Amino acid sequence: MAQDGIGASTKRREDYRFLKGIGKYTDDINQPNQTYCYFLRSPVAHAKIGKVDLSVAKSAPGVVAIFTAADLEAVGGVPCGWLITGKNAQPMKEPKHPILAAGKVRHVGDPVVAVIAESLNAAKNAADLVSIDYQELPAIIDMRTAQTKGGEPVHTEATDNMCFDWEFGDKAATDAAFAKAAHVTKIDLVNQRLVANAMEPRAAVGVYEIGTDEHTLFTTSQNPHVIRLLMGAFVLSIPEHKLRVVAPDVGGGFGSKIFHYAEEAFVTWAAKKVGRPIKWTAERSESFVSDAHGRDHVTHAELAIDANGKMLALRCDTFANMGAYLSTFAPVVPTWLHGTLLAGQYAYPAIYVNVKAMFTNTVPVDAYRGAGRPEATYIIERIVSKAARELKLDQAEFRRMNFIRKDQFPYQTPVALVYDVGDYEASMQAALKLGDYAGFPARKAASAAKGMMRGIGVCSYIEACGIAPSSLVGALGARAGLYEAATVRVNPTGSVSVMTGSHSHGQGHETTFAQVVASKLGIPAENVNIIHGDTDKIPFGMGTYGSRSLAVGGSAIVGALNKIIDKGKKIAAHLLEASEGDIEFKDGAYTVKGTDKKKTFGEIALTAYVPHKYPIDTVEPGLEETSFYDPKNFTYPAGTYICEVEIDPRTGTTVITSFVAADDFGNIINPMIVEGQVHGGLVQGIGQAMLEGAIYNDKGQLVTGSYMDYCMPRADDVPSFKVVTTVTPCTHNPLGVKGCGEAGAIGSTPAVINAICDALDIDNIEMPATPERVWRAAHAKTMKAAE
């Protein structure tokens, strides 16, 4: 057996450089003769750009060049990667997203002028001298009234500010189910806007080599090939062989670094214009107003239930905020990543969903950890708990009554997806046990005796990872394929370099992928190196998001490893003078069936590169294989989370006293890394439930523009988590894996809110459930009780 192979909780090799502060991030990259870029951004949400006076700024000390939209007329806009077709075959409105604001600014933070100078300070000083005449327009901020507000729309292409009006599901069947329902539960939910807040702010370094006419962009991306594709083809018209995109160490993305951003296109373009490398690094306050935000849905949902407590149908109307421009994958988040998830873990026959996507004068909104699935899960798991409360049924029991049973897989949902496998009862039971659900009433009584209110919340989530297959997503409007690629290069002395299209920005791929290789080849994991993030080094791959890296990227690696193993068999057969069919590969050695004749993997590798005694007529020298893997289906991680809270009604302070997660991620490569991913996800989901929220005032100013006001979760805001996994291996990929990157963020938010509602004995509370909101709800209760 390989050491540190599949199943081992190996320590993350990348942590050595991360913890010692010797990682190499985009901002660590400096080029000879480098200049610095500062973007002067709009201070107002909506305005016509009048006169822009650069005359004084241009002669400021250290200025190299200053650009505005007028200089970029020949350059394309930032493209959108997904076309949504709405009701009546109406394509979404897709107004141009210029690199620098042209004619109008559409959100606070919209870049208007780019100043390039010898130092960042010189660039900022010059920017102070730019004068821009903003003719302010009323800002469109609330997506619910955006359609009817009147006045100047965000884009003239969408006079009612609607990007698309999309529907999905069987409306007639849903209406019919509601008509015969014994009970209907209704809920109004706001899934508030969040700011991703990756630890490393975005940065970009653009380089142009005049001698070879080659462009290089170093950027903070989760998917360098996607950036090369979008920026090269749609924005700058640079052919791929002249454009290299490198995403070195990246300090977290959470989705916000999937997208192609104007700043990276700008530095790439301008580096050629000024003939010098250009660096830009966002400051934190700049990140707040320029990184794509997440969530921001407003939903009305209704659930039909029969007299036996069986769920019959779900109906949802959602407003989804697109912000001021369409970010790369924004349209798919509230549609295909949301509507198709509304079946949850439940066997109800009918679903209908309508989504109205609106333009507003706010930062663009796009995928954020979970992307659409947290929003869907929030709807289902909140309405299910509310229904249980109305029907006076136990919230866990009501879920169990409606679960898709183990024997129903593969299960066709009413919203297109086919769940391949799962065992929802198993994870529910594991969670109930771990959370001592049965002991809750005693704990509640003990809290009440102290004047505290205790509540428990259950959430049984499902999610869909590894968006695929390409043929399906193509039919749904994706403008790219969603496979992954890997090259496995066995070096002459038997060490292995793996070039993967997946990108690691905190996930630990360098460790996990090496474990997969170690197990498959029977070699120590330390002999394996994982290379990613550089379009000049790796095969064309689609990158990391949607918890796809192991399920899709890992499968591509396995495909390449299988080819390596097969080729090795041919070489071994030749060396061992046996027929290929008699060669077996196990534990790092090729043997002839039924004999003790063997060659180690290292010997075969050396022979492949020193082919003196070699089947040269039928087998090429070398040992390097590439595989592209296009998944057959999504994978469907699922599980049950249980949150318990204790509330001090006098202040509204809410403490999570226990949080239990039972997840089914299929097979697991590195349990420790999986646990870490769950912990991180849980904290993000708890952050949404209790702490985080981007607030715009009606002028379109981001009130929560810094950490003084935008509350990021800290270690002491969360309890010590109890996590377990139950396993039903994925049926359609070679590792039987499902993905674990987003589950925590998807399942925890509703669990927390369900617990708070349970404690306060109320139907709903707005997120984040701040002390004041909780206090108000508790206060209203005590006032009512006093009457």
Partner 1 sequence: MYAFDYVRPASLADAVKALGASEENRPLAGGQTLIPTMKQRLAMPATLIDLAGIAELKGVRRDGNAIVIGAMTTHADVAGNADVKAAIPALAALAGGIGDPHVRNSGTIGGSVANNDPAADYPAAVLALNATIITTTREIPADSYFTGMFKTALQPGELIKAIRFPIGAKAAYSKFEQRASRYALVGVFVAHTGAGVRVAVTGSGAGGVFRSAPLEAALAKGFSVDALKGAVVPSTGLLSDIHGSAEYRASVIPVIAERAVAAAR
β-pairing verdict for 63-67 and 47-53: unpaired
Residue 768, CA atoms < 13 Å, CB-side half-sphere = 24
Cβ density class 378-402: b for 16+ within 10 Å, e for less:
bbbbbbbbbbbbeeeeebbebbbbb
For residue 704, state whether it binds partner 1 (rule: CB under 8 A): yes
Is 753 an interacting residue with respect to partner 1 (CB under 8 A)? Answer: no
Q: Which stretch binds partner 1 (CB under 8 A): 23-31, 72-80, 606-614, 704-712?
A: 704-712
State phi, psi for 751 to the nearest 5 degrees. Answer: -60, -40
Q: Is 47 helix (H, G, I), strand (E, B) or coil?
A: strand
Binding partner 1 (rule: CB under 8 A), the pick from 269, 346, 545, 775 is 775
Q: Shortest CA distance to 247 belongs to which of 530, 557, 24?
A: 24
Please identify, among the stretches 35-43, 119-127, 177-185, 555-563, the one whose residues bind partner 1 according to the rule CB under 8 A: 119-127
Rg of the chain over Cα atoms, rounded to whole angstroms, equals 27
Of the candidate residues 11, 13, 58, 124, the single one contacting partner 1 (CB under 8 A): 124
Token code pair at residue 141: 């901020």
Q: Report if residue 16 touches partner 1, rule: CB under 8 A.
A: no
CB of 768 to partner 1, least distance (A): 9
Q: Which stretch binds partner 1 (CB under 8 A): 107-115, 121-129, 247-255, 339-347?
A: 121-129
Kindly state whether residue 448 participates in binding partner 1, applying the rule CB under 8 A.
Answer: no
Residue 231 CB, nearest approach to partner 1 (Å) = 31
- Asked if 287 interacts with partner 1 (CB under 8 A), we say no
Which is closer to partner 1, CB of 526 or CB of 772? 772
Peptide bond into 410 cis (omega under 30): yes
According to the binding rule CB under 8 A, does residue 698 interact with partner 1? no
Q: Which residue has the tokens 């997946």?
A: 502
Residue 242 or residue 773: which is nearer to partner 1 going by CB? 773
Whether 350 contacts 177, CB under 8 Å = yes
**Interface with partner 1, residue 191, by CB under 8 A:** no
Q: Which tokens sit at 84?
A: 């949504």
Distance CA 247, CA 54 (A): 33
Q: Considering only 131-139, 328-336, 629-637, 702-710, which stretch makes contact with partner 1 by CB under 8 A?
A: 702-710
Window of 253-261, 548-556, 656-664, 767-775 that interacts with partner 1 by CB under 8 A: 767-775
CB 734 within 8 A of CB 175: no
Q: Choose one: 36-44, 48-56, 123-131, 319-327; the region binding partner 1 (CB under 8 A).
A: 123-131
Q: Pick the closer one to partner 1 by CB: 479 or 776.
A: 776
In the complex, minimum distance from the CB of residue 50 to partner 1, in angstroms, rounded to a whole number: 24
Question: What is the rounded distance in angstroms from the CA atom of residue 56 to the CA atom of residue 697?
Answer: 33
The distance of closest approach from Cβ of residue 678 to partner 1 in the complex, given in angstroms and rounded to an integer, is 24
Position 708 contacts partner 1 (CB under 8 A): yes
For partner 1, give the closer residue by CB, 195 or 465: 195
What x-and-dash track marks residues 71-110 binding partner 1 by CB under 8 A? ----------------------------------------
Asked if 772 interacts with partner 1 (CB under 8 A), we say: yes
Q: Could you give the CA distance from residue 340 to residue 199 in angstroms, rounded to a whole number?
A: 31
Interface with partner 1 (CB under 8 A), residue from 31, 429, 470, 770: 770
Count of residues near partner 1 by CB under 8 A: 25
- Binding of partner 1 by 121 (CB under 8 A): yes
As a three-state string, the secondary structure of 300-331 is EEEEEECCCCCEEEEEEEEEEEEECCCCCCHH
CB of 132 within 8 A of CB of 49? yes
Give the C-alpha separation, 261 to 289, whole Å.
13
Q: What would the DSSP string read from start to end of 473-530?
A: HHHTTBSS---EEEEEEE-TTS-EEEEES---SSS-HHHHHHHHHHHHHTS-GGGEEE
Contact 286, 183 (CB under 8 A): no
Nearest 5°: the CA angle 202, 744, 378 is 100
Q: Is 712 in the site for partner 1 (CB under 8 A)?
A: yes
- CA of 445: how far to CAs of 43, 440, 442, 450, 760, in Å? 53, 9, 5, 9, 14
C-alpha to C-alpha distance for 238 and 423, rounded to whole angstroms = 49
Span near partner 1 by CB under 8 A; candidates 271-279, 435-443, 526-534, 699-707:
699-707
Q: Does 710 bind partner 1 (CB under 8 A)?
A: yes
Among 711, 718, 724, 727, binds partner 1 (CB under 8 A): 711
Angle at 22 between CA 19 and CA 28, to 5 degrees: 130
Asked if 703 touches partner 1 (CB under 8 A), the answer is yes
Q: Can residue 125 be called a binding residue for partner 1 (CB under 8 A)?
A: yes
Contact letters for partner 1, residues 620-659 (x by CB under 8 A): ------------------------------xxx-------
Q: Give the residue among 292, 299, 289 at the shortest CA–CA distance from 144.
A: 299
Among 19, 179, 695, 780, binds partner 1 (CB under 8 A): 695
- Quote the least distance from Cβ 126 to partner 1, whole Å: 13
Q: How far is the CB of 399 from partner 1 (least distance, A)?
A: 31
Least spacing, CB of residue 717 vs partner 1, in Å: 8
Q: Is 266 helix (H, G, I), strand (E, B) or coil?
A: helix
Query: Phi then psi for 411, rounded to 5 degrees?
Result: -115, 125
- Smallest separation, CB 128 to partner 1 (Å): 8
Please report, as residue ranges, which positions from 426 to 445 form the binding site for partner 1 (by CB under 8 A): none
Minimum gap (Å) between residue 38 Cβ and partner 1: 12
Tokens 């369900």 belong to which residue? 754
Does residue 771 bind partner 1 (CB under 8 A)? yes
Distance (Å, whole) CA 201 – CA 196: 10
Please choose, out of 599-607, 627-635, 726-734, 769-777, the segment that lies near partner 1 by the rule CB under 8 A. Answer: 769-777
Stretch 394-413 residues interacting with partner 1 (CB under 8 A): none
Q: How far is the CB of 51 from partner 1 (least distance, A)?
A: 24
Task: Kindly tell me which of 284 and 433 has the beta carbon lying closer to partner 1.
Answer: 284
Q: Are 256 and 684 in contact (CB under 8 A)?
A: no
Tell me: does residue 707 bind partner 1 (CB under 8 A): yes
Positions in the binding site for partner 1 (CB under 8 A): 121, 124-125, 128, 285, 650-652, 691, 695, 703-704, 707-712, 717, 770-772, 775-776, 779
